[in-house]
Chains A and B, each alone.
Chain A
C-alpha cells in the first residue's frame, strides 16, 4: 500500500493500468474461462472425504431383507392408485398404521397463476400422507424424513420400498430420531404444502390444513424416485431451490454406501470414469460439471428434496435410472443402501455442518470447493473493476483541450438527471417485465388466439423486446445533446452496478453468477457509443440475458446427449420461461425476479450507452 501513498508510483501504476487496460481485460477473461474449464480436470480437484465423525467411524450393518415384499406392496399400491384414480389415501393410512406408525394426513389446494402445460395442472388439490416412526425413549426433538412422491406416472416401487423400510425400521430398537415416512401428492406442490405446514409458514399463498403430528426439528431428508421396474443404477440429485446444495457429507454418505454395497452410482446420470488423463475422460468430467452448473443456475428444485434446503434441512433425491443394461440392482439392495444411510444419519449428534455447502462435482468422488471455483469468477469481475478504474481516471483527468474553458465547464458537469433517468426507466421496464405477464394474461387470451401459458410467455418476450426500443434516447429530451462525459458517468455506474450484482449473485448461486458474468462482462467491457452500431447491437442482443437462456437450453440438451432441432428448442425455450415464472410463484425461486428486476435493467443500461448520441 506504500505504492498508493506515493503519488509518483501511484500515477505510474494507474497509467500502466489505463494504458494496458484492454489487454489485461482480455487476459483476465481468458484466464477466468480457462480456470473454470480446469476445474473439471481431476488432478486439480479434491477427493471427497467424510468430514462428519459421527458418520465416519461407526460401522453399521445393513440387514434389510424384504425387497421382494416391498415390490409386492408397490404393486398393491399401484392397483389401489388406479382404482381410486389418484392417491389412495385410505389404503396408505391403513397400511402405515398396520406397520405401527402414527399416521396423519394433510390436504392442500393451490391454484396456479396460470396453467402448467408441462404437467397439465391448474387447480391442484391433493393430500399428503405421512407416518411417523417414534423413536423409543426419544423426546420428539429430532427427525429424519424419507419421502416418495406419488406421481401419476410410475413411482410405485418407491412407495413400496418406503413402506417396506417403514415396516423393517419399526422393529428396530436403535433409532434415536423419529423417522417420518412421507408420501406426497403432486410432487413439489405437495412437498411445499407439507413443509410449509410442518414449519407453519406461508410464503407462497398455498392453502393447506395444519399438521397434526410432528417430530421436532428435521435433521436430514431423502426423497426416493424409482421410475422404472428395472433399476440399474442410482443417481444422486443435489441441486435445490435457488441453487442451494445440501452439505457435501450427504453426497459422501451416498457414495460411501454405494461403494460398500456395490451399487452403480451416478451423478447427473453420468458414471464415473477412471481415464481422467485422456481427452474423452476429461470431456466427460466437464460434461458432468457443466450439467451441474446449468442445473444449479436454473435455480429450480430438481427433485422433491430441493424445497427442504430452505429450512436448513440437508436433503437429496435418489433416483433409480435404467440406462446401463448389464447391471441390475434389486429392491433389497436399494433398501439396504437406504437402511445404511438412515442408520448413519441416525447416529448424527449435530446437524450436518462439517463439510462444504458450496461445491461443484465433476464426479461423485471428486469435488471442487468454493475456494477453487471462486477465482474463476473473480477473474471475470476484475475486468469490470478495471474498466471502472479506467473510466474513473478518464473522468478525473481534465480533457486535453484545457484552453477551451466553456466546453470544459459544460463537460465536467453531466448532470445527475442524465444518469438517473436511464436508470429509472430501465428499472421500470424491469418492473413491467416482472408484473405484466401475469397481469395481462386474461387480456391477452381474449384478444389473441393463444392459451394462458403462451400468453404469459409471449407477453414476457414482448415486454422484453419493447424494452430495447424504449429508453435509449431519454437523455436527449433532458439535456439536449448527450455529452462525452455523460455516457462515461452512466457507464461507470452501470459497470459498478453489474459488478456488485454479479458478485452478490455468485455468492448465493455461483453457477448463475458465472454464466451471467460470462456473457455480460464482455458487453460491459466493450460497449461505447463510438463503435459500429449495427454490429455491436447484434452482439449486444446475442449476449443479452434472454439469448443466454436460449443458448443455455440448447447447450443443456447437448450436454444431456439429447440434442434438439431449432423448432423443438424454441418450444422448449418457451416452456422453460413459463416454468421459471411458475417456480417463482409456486416455490419462491428467485431467478425470475433477479433477471427481470435487476439483470435485465442493468443490461438495458449498456444498450442505452450504445445508442448514446
Chain B
C-alpha cells in the first residue's frame, strides 16, 4: 500500500511540474500537490497570490471583494460571458500546479416572505481528456463513477437534477438554479456516438444506479429531443439536436437515498474518503457538514443537481477541462420551522455550525445576500463581516456579505461560525419576477380536457420572446388544431413552432414555440386533448392517483432589472450609462411550470372476479341462446305415437297393411 502510494504521488508530482495557466478566482488560495501525497512524503506548498494578501480584511471596514460572482443561471449566454470574463491568474511556470481544483460556496438569501433560501455549489475542475481513447485511471477530486460514465458513453454534457417541491417564483423570486419537480435529465452526446438512443438507454440505467433513483423509467415514451430550448452550456460547436436527449420524471420522489450518493461525489462529503486520505482532519469538513438530511428534508423546497460540462481553461481556449458542478438548493419555511419568529441561524437551518473549510478546496466561502439591507435596517447579521462582494445575478445587482472559511479569523474565538440573521422589520416589497409561468388542466369529465399554460410578462414596458417547451405523454392525445396563443385578448402568432406528434406507446408529443410576450401581459397557450383508454396492463399500480405530465419549460432572455433602473447613475459615471451595455441588458432565465396530474378513465380493478363472472354469464346465456335461436331451423314435429301403436304398426308392416 505504501509503495503504491509513493509511486502514485511521485507521478503526480512530476505531472504537477508542467507549466500551464490556471483559472481560479483571483484571491483564492492555491493548494498544490495531492493532499494524500502531502501527508505521506511530499512537501506541502501553499502559495498565496498577491491579491489574497492584499485583501487581508482590515477590521471594521467594509471592503469590496474583487471577485466576480459567477452568474448562477446555467445558460449559454451566461456561460460564454463567464468564460470570457473570468479573471485569470498567471501562475509562474515554476510553481507546480494541480490539474484539478475544488471550490465550495454557500449562498444564503433571506426572502421577503420570511423564508430563507440556501444554495450550495461545489465545483470541481479537472483538466483531462476522457475522450480520444486514452484511459483515465487516476482520479483525485473528480469522482471516478462520473468520469467513467463520461468516457464510456461519450457524454459531452450532462445535467441531472432531483427536486422535491415546486419553486414559488411569485414569493421567492427567481432561483439561482431552476429545476422542475421530480427528476430531470438532459445530455448532449459527442458527435462520434452513432447509436444515440441505445447509449441514452444505457446511460439512464447507469445513472439510475449511481443516484439511487428511478431514472431507469426513462424510455422512449418520455424522452424528447428539443430543437431549441436546451443548448449546450459548455464549450461546444455541436448544436445538432440529434445528439441531445431530454427527459423528466415528474413523479420521482427525492429523499435521503438520493442525497447520500450525491454527497459521496464530494471530495469532502463522506466519511470513507476522509478516513483513508485525511486521517488528521475531522470526519467531515467544509460546507458538507451542513448537509444533514433530517434538516434538508424538513423544508419547503429541496433540489439537488449535478452538471458536467467542458469549459475553457483560459481565454484563448487552448486547453479545456471538465467542470463538475454539484448544487443543492433548499428553502426553509418560516412557519413550520421558525415558530413564527423571524430569525435564522446556520444551526437552526442545518443543526450544525461551520468549523473549517474543506482542506481540499481552493476556495470555501459563504455569501449572504444583503442587497435589500444595505444599512442593516431590514435584518441584522451576526457576526458582521467587513468583506463585501457585488455581482449581477439574474439581471439584478446584488450585494453579498462574504465569509471566507479558509481564514481562521472568520471563525472567531469560539472556532465555529454560526451565522445569525435576525429580522428587524417585515416591511419592504419584493421585486416582482419579470417572467413567471403557470399551468393547469381545464374541463371536467374523463373524455377530454384542455391544457392551459399561462406566461406572465411583468416587465412594465418591454416585450421579450419566450421559448416554450411542452412534452406531453402520448396518452393525452393533443388536438393540435385547437392550439391557441392569446395575449391581451388578441391572437399572438408564434414566430417558430416545432411540433412532433406522438406515437402511441412509442414517443410523447413535443411542442416548442417561440412566443413574443407583450409588456405587462399574460399570454395564454391552450390546447385540447383527449384522454386515451390504456390497456389494462399499462395502468400504474395506483391508477386512481392520476398520471403525471411533466412541467413545461420557459426559456427566455429577460430584460435585466439593472437596465430598467434609471437611477443607477448615482453609482456609475454618467458616460458609462447612456447606452445599455450588452451583458447587463438581458439575462437568461429558465422557468418551469408545475407538473400536471391528470386522471384517465380507469376501470374498476377491484372487481375482476365480478367482471369475469358477468362476462361469462352474458356470453354463455345471452349469446349462446340467441345464436341457437337464430341458427336453428324449426319444423313441426309429428306427434309421437304410443308404444302400443308402434308395435301395431310393425305388425301391420309385416302383414303388408298400411300403418295407422
A140 touches B443 (CB 8 A): no
Give the complex CA separation of A311 and B444 in angstroms. Answer: 5
- Asked whether A139 and B171 contact (CB < 8 A) given A4-B625, A173-B298, A351-B599, the answer is no
A353 touches B544 (CB 8 A): yes
Give the Cβ gap from A564 to chain B, nearest Cβ, in Å. Answer: 38
B442 CB–A CB distance under 8 Å: yes
The listed residue (B297, B299, B442, B545) touching A199 by CB distance below 8 A is B442
Give the complex CA separation of A311 and B596 in angstroms. Answer: 16
CB closest chain-B residue, reference A212? B438
A5 touches B628 (CB 8 A): yes
A172 touches B336 (CB 8 A): yes
A217 touches B333 (CB 8 A): no
B629 touches A100 (CB 8 A): no
B367 CB–A CB distance under 8 Å: no
A141 CB–B CB distance under 8 Å: yes
Give the Cβ gap from B138 to chain A, nearest Cβ, in Å. Answer: 40
Give the Cβ gap from A518 to chain B, nearest Cβ, in Å. Answer: 29
Give the Cβ gap from B169 to chain A, nearest Cβ, in Å. Answer: 12
Complex interface: chain A residues within 8 A of B446 (CB)? 312
A141 touches B336 (CB 8 A): no
Give the complex CA separation of A365 and B380 in angstroms. Answer: 59
A200 touches B450 (CB 8 A): yes
- Asked whether A139 and B444 contact (CB < 8 A) given A173-B336, A217-B546, A349-B545, the answer is no
CB closest chain-B residue, reference A195? B444
B166 touches A140 (CB 8 A): yes
B132 CB–A CB distance under 8 Å: no
B302 CB–A CB distance under 8 Å: yes
A170 CB–B CB distance under 8 Å: yes
CB closest chain-A residue, reference B546? A217
Binds B, one of A130-138, A289-297, A554-562: A130-138
Q: Chain A 113-146, CB within 8 Å of chain B: the 1/0 string?
A: 0000000000000000000001011111110000
B443 touches A199 (CB 8 A): yes
A139 touches B595 (CB 8 A): yes
Give the complex CA separation of A1 and B606 in angstroms. Answer: 32
Q: Chain B 604-633, CB within 8 Å of chain A: the 1/0 string?
A: 001000000000000001001100110010
Give the complex CA separation of A310 and B445 in angstroms. Answer: 8
CB closest chain-B residue, reference A54? B542
Interface size of A in residues (CB-CB distance below 8 Å): 33
Complex interface: chain A residues within 8 A of B548 (CB)? 141
B406 CB–A CB distance under 8 Å: no
B301 CB–A CB distance under 8 Å: yes
A274 CB–B CB distance under 8 Å: no
Give the complex CA separation of A67 and B544 in angstroms. Answer: 36
Complex interface: chain B residues within 8 A of A200 (CB)? 440, 442-443, 450, 452
B250 touches A139 (CB 8 A): yes
The listed residue (A7, A136, A201) touching B443 by CB distance below 8 A is A201
Complex interface: chain A residues within 8 A of B443 (CB)? 199-201
Give the Cβ gap from A307 to chain B, nearest Cβ, in Å. Answer: 11
A171 CB–B CB distance under 8 Å: yes
Give the complex CA separation of A2 and B625 in angstroms. Answer: 8
Give the complex CA separation of A350 and B170 in angstroms. Answer: 29
- A200, A351, A354: most-surrounded residue (chain B CB, <10 A): A200
Q: Chain B 434-458, CB within 8 Å of chain A: the 1/0 string?
A: 0000101111111000101000000
Give the complex CA separation of A141 and B545 in angstroms. Answer: 10
Give the complex CA separation of A217 and B600 in angstroms. Answer: 13
Complex interface: chain B residues within 8 A of A281 (CB)? none
Complex interface: chain B residues within 8 A of A351 (CB)? 544-546, 599
Instruction: Identify which of residues 295-350 in chain B touch chain A, using a CB-to-CB cut-off of 8 Å.
Output: 297-302, 333-337, 339-340
- Asked whether A312 and B298 contact (CB < 8 A) given A4-B625, A140-B594, A351-B544, the answer is no
B165 touches A136 (CB 8 A): yes
Give the Cβ gap from B365 to chain A, nearest Cβ, in Å. Answer: 28
A102 CB–B CB distance under 8 Å: yes
Q: Chain A 423-441, CB within 8 Å of chain B: the 1/0 string?
A: 0000000000000000000
The listed residue (B297, B334, B444, B621) touching A100 by CB distance below 8 A is B334
Instruction: Identify which of residues 164-191 in chain B touch chain A, using a CB-to-CB cut-off of 8 Å.
Output: 164-166, 168, 170-171, 181-182
The listed residue (B182, B301, B444, B625) touching A310 by CB distance below 8 A is B444
A214 CB–B CB distance under 8 Å: yes
Q: Chain A 1-17, CB within 8 Å of chain B: the 1/0 string?
A: 11011010000000000
The listed residue (A2, A216, A349) touching B597 by CB distance below 8 A is A216
- Asked whether A141 and B595 contact (CB < 8 A) given A5-B625, A136-B165, A350-B544, the answer is yes
B634 CB–A CB distance under 8 Å: yes
A136 touches B595 (CB 8 A): no
B634 touches A7 (CB 8 A): yes
Number of A-B contacts (CB under 8 A): 105
Give the complex CA separation of A100 and B342 in angstroms. Answer: 13
Instruction: Identify which of residues 161-176 in chain A touch chain B, using a CB-to-CB cut-off of 8 Å.
Output: 170-173
A216 touches B634 (CB 8 A): no
Give the Cβ gap from A70 to chain B, nearest Cβ, in Å. Answer: 17
Complex interface: chain B residues within 8 A of A139 (CB)? 165-166, 181-182, 250, 594-595
Give the Cβ gap from B608 to chain A, nearest Cβ, in Å. Answer: 15
Q: Chain B 533-545, CB within 8 Å of chain A: the 1/0 string?
A: 0000000001111
Give the complex CA separation of A307 and B171 in angstroms. Answer: 31
Give the complex CA separation of A2 and B626 in angstroms. Answer: 10
- Asked whether A5 and B164 contact (CB < 8 A) given A141-B594, A199-B444, A201-B443, the answer is no
Instruction: Identify which of residues 286-313 in chain A touch chain B, using a CB-to-CB cut-off of 8 Å.
Output: 310-312
Complex interface: chain B residues within 8 A of A310 (CB)? 444
B171 touches A102 (CB 8 A): yes
A312 touches B182 (CB 8 A): no
A350 touches B334 (CB 8 A): no
- B335, B443, B597: most-surrounded residue (chain A CB, <10 A): B335
- Asked whether A136 and B300 contact (CB < 8 A) given A171-B336, A217-B597, the answer is yes
A137 touches B300 (CB 8 A): yes
Complex interface: chain A residues within 8 A of B598 (CB)? 217
Complex interface: chain A residues within 8 A of B597 (CB)? 141-142, 216-217
Complex interface: chain B residues within 8 A of A1 (CB)? 621, 624-625, 628-629
Complex interface: chain A residues within 8 A of B629 (CB)? 1, 4-5
Give the complex CA separation of A353 and B606 in angstroms. Answer: 10
B596 touches A141 (CB 8 A): yes
The listed residue (A5, A134, A349) touching B542 by CB distance below 8 A is A349
Give the complex CA separation of A100 and B334 in angstroms. Answer: 9
Give the Cβ gap from A24 to chain B, nearest Cβ, in Å. Answer: 22
CB closest chain-A residue, reference B297? A137
Complex interface: chain A residues within 8 A of B621 (CB)? 1
The listed residue (A137, A140, A201) touching B164 by CB distance below 8 A is A137
A201 touches B442 (CB 8 A): yes
Instruction: Identify which of residues 345-367 in chain A touch chain B, using a CB-to-CB cut-off of 8 Å.
Output: 349-351, 353-354
Give the Cβ gap from A95 to chain B, nearest Cβ, in Å. Answer: 15
Complex interface: chain A residues within 8 A of B545 (CB)? 349-351
Give the Cβ gap from B288 to chain A, nearest Cβ, in Å. Answer: 22
Give the Cβ gap from B418 to chain A, nearest Cβ, in Å. Answer: 23
Give the Cβ gap from B65 to chain A, nearest Cβ, in Å. Answer: 34
A171 touches B335 (CB 8 A): yes
Complex A-B: 25 CB contacts under 8 Å = A1-B625, A1-B629, A5-B628, A137-B164, A137-B300, A137-B302, A138-B166, A139-B594, A140-B181, A140-B595, A141-B546, A141-B548, A141-B594, A141-B597, A170-B335, A171-B335, A173-B337, A199-B442, A200-B443, A216-B440, A217-B546, A217-B599, A310-B444, A312-B445, A351-B544
Since A141-B595, A217-B441 are in contact, a sample of 16 more A-B pairs with Cβ atoms closer than 8 Å, ordered by chain A residue number, is A1-B629, A136-B299, A136-B336, A137-B302, A139-B181, A139-B182, A139-B594, A171-B340, A173-B298, A173-B336, A200-B442, A201-B444, A216-B594, A217-B546, A312-B444, A353-B544
List the interface of chain B (C-beta within 8 A of A). 164-166, 168, 170-171, 181-182, 250, 297-302, 333-337, 339-340, 438, 440-446, 450, 452, 542-546, 548, 594-599, 602, 606, 621, 624-625, 628-629, 632, 634
Q: What 10 pairs across the A-B complex have the smallest Cβ distances?
A: A1-B625, A139-B181, A200-B442, A350-B544, A137-B165, A141-B597, A140-B594, A137-B164, A350-B545, A136-B300
